[in-house]
Amino acid sequence: MPLDEEMKQILQLLAPPGAPALTDLSVAEARANMGALMAASPAPEPVGGVENRTIPGPAGEIPVRIYAPTRPGPHPVLVYFHGGGWVLCNLDTHDASCRALCNQAACVVVSVDYRLAPEHKFPAGLEDCYAATRWVAEHADEINVDPRRIAVGGDSAGGNLTACVTQLARERGGPRLVHQLLVYPVTDARFDTPSYEENAEGYFLTRDSMKWFWAHYLNGEADAAHPPASPLRARSFAELPPATVITAEFDPLRDEGEAYGRRLQEAGVPTRIERFDGVIHGFFGMGAVIGKARDAVALAASELRKAFGR
């Protein structure tokens, strides 16, 4: 179907004619551009409480932001890993999404500011995300959450980290996770799917941009074959937590996200795959201006509530 009218207007703002391509920017310039975009964000949605703190990680302290609902706990919890190609973004860029999920899923959200590439290449960010997930399970009482109701989630590169954390949790003996929320996840370091061909250019995230991100993240081409980088290449998808997979029609990553969902289904893992037509990569965090983004967040929150037994 054609590009959604609301999405079309936002795309013109995100990628105006004559703007430099991401691949022409340094990492510092790309991060500055992302910061400039966030400066125009609307006022934050209120939640019951917000705490910024640090937790122990494999290479030092990991900053996290903890969002709490208004009603008393202990609450179920979503450990959230932001997108940005493992190179960009931070707690502030995904603040709106975390607040919306906190309110609509009635859960604590622990947003993780994992180490970024290229300063910290694979698997540094992944190990931070796994460490944060273990910390939540081991310190549930401290943050007023129920250790029996832990979900993980993320968008784009954060979706990649989510899938990889669930595989690590299976291989390393925990923690037990009740759900994984995968929003247009990166699942394979290949660039040859139909969605990569159809959406290679013109829809904000491009094929060349993804090559730029992968090049900064990995230590070399050999890393791309490892399931902790490309989770679609895992030998087994059995005994992974139930999943919600959200994809966007005009997104190079559409097909690999849906392929990951199908592999989960084939392994007997309860999985809902939902494609949102007419939108591009990144739409999930645009609820202030795009109706389909609000629909996607509502779907994600609904699936989380079911997983939490609410």
Q: Which residues are catalytic?
A: 156, 251, 281
Edge to edge, the sheet with strand 108-112 lists 49-57, 60-68, 108-112, 75-81, 145-155, 179-183, 243-250, 271-280
Residue with the two structure tokens 């202990």: 74
Q: Which of 309, 308, 305, 304 is nearest to 181 (CA)?
A: 304
For residue 215, the surrounding DSSP H or E stretch is: helix 207-217
Q: Which of 243, 270, 87 is nearest to 152 (CA)?
A: 243
Distance CA 12, CA 25 (A): 19
Q: Which of 90, 115, 105 is nearest to 244 (CA)?
A: 105
Number of H helices, E strands in the chain: 9, 8
Q: Which residues partner with 77 through β-bridges?
A: 108, 150
